[in-house]
A and B are shown apart, each in its own frame.
Chain A
Amino acid sequence: MALKELSSLEKFLGLKKPNKYSTQGDNKVPVLQTNSGPAVGLLTVCSHLVKEAKRPELLGTSAEHRALVQQWLEYRTTKVDGCSREEAKTVLKDLNLYLQDKVYLAGHCFTLADALMYYGLHPLVVELAVQEKEQHVNVTRWFDHMQHYPGLRHHLPPVVVLRNRVYTSGHH
């Protein structure tokens, strides 16, 4: 999973040469050998790729913005990855509320947090029924935006998102 995600991110960033990754430990933590030694961990590797692609704005444009990006990257690896069905519900509820008045996870532009959250949430969103997607309408809206974000989707199958409401609020 992590490796496919990394290769999709490389393509998204327009990196010409695909990197070779190894993994470490039982959790298959991705490792990338760089000129300045190994980069260990998904977020670290991704941040490295972003810098390599000279797209530092994807990590945030100010200290505050960067902290927000970091926070959501961390949320992705600690709360979304490997979550149980119960935890998945909490995650969706959290994000649905958070995204109520937001287009992107951090600040007012697309960041690495959006990309990795999209990759991480995909297995959860794929399993949602139409009604559940509608209940988490803000997550769904953001998710649909991401899967149509130019060049991002790559390895993942598209998730069908209805644009109109099927269930009226009185029915659930």
Chain B
Amino acid sequence: MKLYISEGNPHCLKVLAAVEVTKVQCDVQCVNHEERVVPFPRPALPALLLPSGGHLFSSNAICQYFFETSGQKPSTLISQWLEWESTELQPALLWALHMAVLQGKATEASKSLQGALSYLDQCLSKGTTPYLTGEAISVVDVVLWGALHPFLSDPSLALGECKSVQAWFERLAGEKACQAAAQRVLQGKGLEALKSFMQRQPAGQRRDAQSYGSNPSESEEGDRVVSEEEMESAALTWSRGLTACPEATERQHPIALPYVNNVPHLGNIIGCVLSADVFARYGRLRGWNVLYICDKYHAVHADIYRWFQVDFDYFGRTTTQKIAQNIFWRLHERGFLLEDTVEQLRCEGCQRFLADRFVEGVCPHCSYPDARGDQCDKCGRLINAVELKNPTCKVCAKTPIIRTSKHLFLDLPKLESQLEQWLDKSIGTGHWTANAKQITRSWLRDGLKPRCITRDLKWGTPVPHPDFADKVFYVWFDAPIGYLSITANYTDQWEKWWKNPEQVELYNFMAKDNVPFHSVVFPCSLLGAQDNYTLVNHLIATEYLNYEDTKFSKSRGVGVFGDMAKDTGIPSDVWRFYLLYVRPESQDSAFSWADMALKNNSELLNNLGNFINRWVVGDDPRGGGGYL
């Protein structure tokens, strides 16, 4: 057994005295303060190398060990005193030593020890034995003597009227063991001898309440007090049960309507539903209150989206016309609707007015040959169908003729300044993709023109105004209002989502051709209605997804459509992965069968599949060590 001590280290007093008192066979070696005897990141002395090869570096544990090997049994009383010494006396002592040795403030030092000393004095005076635990010196006496020796032996420190402590201390000071220990550690220099040791110690401090560890949880010990209101609201929530609607909170994001008049193709799917689905899943994982809605045009859509594992909160068809009509009347009352006669295309062959998308022709702006009746896919500008050069009816390919008819217009110029003000805020604070910003800006730059919101069609939402009884709303006036109606179908609390711009964040996902309807036309309808509607905060638009090297085209049957994806037998997760992989973020991208096979093999199978497989198998077959 070997005991390492260092001179001028107050903790060595007790262990040296313990060696002498118990007469344990032990080598004592004096080392430098900084010597690392114990395999510890910092020096810890005194230290005892045990016969087993282990180390003790707590002076009290060393003393206890010496006393136990010499036949003194541990007891509750001993344990209690030693615990008091280490948790109550030592912190006070460290502070006192710091004050007395390093700062020369003897009075401060005495003051900080007063409490501990009077407690000790009380215990000694109540007891009938000369030593703390009985008739003979025990480990407790040695430990406390060692701790207090630097102070009690110094005449300059007035320690007050602790007569019993004085008597006890003098009894111990008479012991040869203690005298020898004191001489060895302090070398007759008193407190001065401790200076170099104390300088290496972290400043003695009073334990502050700010520390953590076990203390802070103390405040959580009591039961949390539940207020009356909380109980009431809990009871109310309980009684409402699970049928209750979701409360509007921070975030929501309906998606853009998939405006597809037949089966959606992959470009439709990635642009809005799939992008929005990924975001909605993310939002749910984050614990946001997400409402993900989609308008349903066909049962076909429902099947396809279900197969693609798109998790709408609500997937419905607009059946409520109340909201659309309400917005219409509010716009009308506030003078944001204009009446005008328009020239319109009518196909004599089909005996009807042609809906915009039933007309194709040459774009009057960029001369793109496949421009549609409402918009050019090439330059993105909106077109009035009559402006098309060489218009043709998409049904019978005849040339339609122009007829006039009275229509209602949304007065966009009147709403322009309001819109600009709002756009500055929304684009400034929200996430708008570059193309969404650019398209919106180009619209404003060209100046807004009144926009026709009625059509001479048989199907659609009827216009409630008696003068326009045989007309229906233009789909892009009506369709975005569908977001509100769908929400109203889902929950009667729809106004908490849609008339709550302070608490709700609205995200729209779409392909870039739908941007103007969501950034200009629809917001103008809502702003003009002046009913505190929630307006879009984030507008995420994709570029186009091409098919191999050409455009997806439903009419020409080019491309992969939702139902075909299912029929390939390739799992929907693979489709989801690949479509997200080639998602046209900042420029047009193309779907290619060869690339899909390649990405499936290299990314999904080789990289991700392998990675997961190693985890699941739990071991690297090449012997590189376990992963689990």
Asked if B218 and A63 make an inter-chain contact with CB atoms under 8 angstroms apart, the answer reads no
Interface presence of B56 (CB below 8 A): yes
Docked CA distance A68–B55 (Å):
8
Docked CA distance A111–B90 (Å):
25
Q: Which residues of B contact A87 (CB under 8 A)?
A: 211
Q: Which residues of A contact B62 (CB under 8 A)?
A: 67
Docked CA distance A22–B84 (Å):
17
Name the one of B57, B218, B221, B628 contacting A71, with C-beta atoms under 8 angstroms: B57
Asked if A41 meets B212 with Cβ closer than 8 Å, knowing A67-B61, A74-B58, A74-B61, the reply is no
Docked CA distance A59–B39 (Å):
24
Q: Which residues of A contact B217 (CB under 8 A)?
A: 1, 123
Asked if B627 and A66 make an inter-chain contact with CB atoms under 8 angstroms apart, the answer reads no
Interface presence of A103 (CB below 8 A): no
Given contacts A44-B83, A64-B65, A67-B64, 20 further A-B contacts (CB under 8 A): A5-B214, A29-B87, A64-B52, A66-B65, A67-B68, A68-B56, A68-B61, A70-B82, A71-B57, A78-B87, A81-B215, A82-B212, A82-B215, A83-B211, A85-B212, A87-B211, A88-B213, A120-B213, A123-B212, A124-B213
Interface residues of B in 87-121 (CB under 8 A from A): 87-88, 90
Asked if A64 and B80 make an inter-chain contact with CB atoms under 8 angstroms apart, the answer reads no
List the interface of chain B (C-beta within 8 A of A). Answer: 39-42, 50-52, 54, 56-58, 60-62, 64-65, 68-69, 74, 76, 79-80, 82-84, 86-88, 90, 207-208, 210-218, 221, 627-628
Asked if B213 and A80 make an inter-chain contact with CB atoms under 8 angstroms apart, the answer reads yes
List the interface of chain A (C-beta within 8 A of B). Answer: 1-5, 27-29, 34, 36, 39-44, 47-48, 59, 63-64, 66-68, 70-71, 74-75, 77-78, 80-85, 87-88, 90, 93-94, 97-98, 119-120, 123-124, 127, 163-164
Q: Which residues of B contact A78 (CB under 8 A)?
A: 86-87, 90
Asked if B58 and A70 make an inter-chain contact with CB atoms under 8 angstroms apart, the answer reads yes
Q: Which residues of A contact B54 (CB under 8 A)?
A: 64, 68
For B1, the closest partner residue in chain A by CB is: A64
Q: Which residues of B contact A84 (CB under 8 A)?
A: 208, 210-212
Asked if A70 and B61 make an inter-chain contact with CB atoms under 8 angstroms apart, the answer reads yes
Asked if B218 and A28 make an inter-chain contact with CB atoms under 8 angstroms apart, the answer reads yes
Q: Which residues of A contact B86 (CB under 8 A)?
A: 74, 77-78
Q: Which residues of B contact A39 (CB under 8 A)?
A: 76, 80
For A122, the closest partner residue in chain B by CB is: B214
Q: Which residues of A contact B87 (CB under 8 A)?
A: 27, 29, 41, 77-78
Q: A33 CB to closest chain B CB, in angstroms? A: 12
Asked if A81 meets B213 with Cβ closer than 8 Å, knowing A71-B58, A74-B86, the reply is yes
Q: Which residues of B contact A34 (CB under 8 A)?
A: 76
Asked if A63 meets B65 with Cβ closer than 8 Å, knowing A41-B80, A47-B76, the reply is yes
Name the one of A59, A119, A123 contacting B216, with C-beta atoms under 8 angstroms: A123
Q: Which residues of A contact B69 (CB under 8 A)?
A: 63
Docked CA distance A120–B56 (Å):
21
Q: Which residues of B contact A68 (CB under 8 A)?
A: 54, 56, 61
Across the A-B interface, the 4 shortest Cβ-Cβ residue pairs:
A71-B61, A67-B65, A41-B83, A71-B58
Q: Which residues of A contact B90 (CB under 8 A)?
A: 78
Q: B401 CB to closest chain A CB, in angstroms? A: 71
Docked CA distance A80–B215 (Å):
10
Asked if A4 and B221 make an inter-chain contact with CB atoms under 8 angstroms apart, the answer reads yes
Docked CA distance A36–B79 (Å):
14
Docked CA distance A63–B211 (Å):
34
Q: Which residues of B contact A66 (CB under 8 A)?
A: 64-65, 68, 74
For A4, the closest partner residue in chain B by CB is: B221
Docked CA distance A90–B40 (Å):
10
Q: A129 CB to closest chain B CB, in angstroms? A: 16
Would you give 6 A-B contacts (Cβ < 8 Å), ordered by A? A63-B69, A66-B68, A67-B56, A67-B65, A82-B211, A85-B212
Name the one of A4, A88, A164 contacting B212, with C-beta atoms under 8 angstroms: A88
Q: Which residues of B contact A75 (CB under 8 A)?
A: 58
Q: A132 CB to closest chain B CB, in angstroms? A: 15
Docked CA distance A147–B432 (Å):
48
For B48, the closest partner residue in chain A by CB is: A67
Q: Which residues of A contact B41 (CB under 8 A)?
A: 90, 93-94, 97
Asked if A82 meets B56 with Cβ closer than 8 Å, knowing A28-B218, A97-B39, the reply is no
Q: B92 CB to closest chain A CB, in angstroms? A: 12
Q: Which residues of A contact B208 (CB under 8 A)?
A: 84
Q: Which residues of B contact A123 (CB under 8 A)?
A: 212-214, 216-217
Docked CA distance A42–B80 (Å):
9
Q: Which residues of B contact A44 (CB under 8 A)?
A: 76, 79-80, 83
Q: B451 CB to closest chain A CB, in angstroms? A: 54
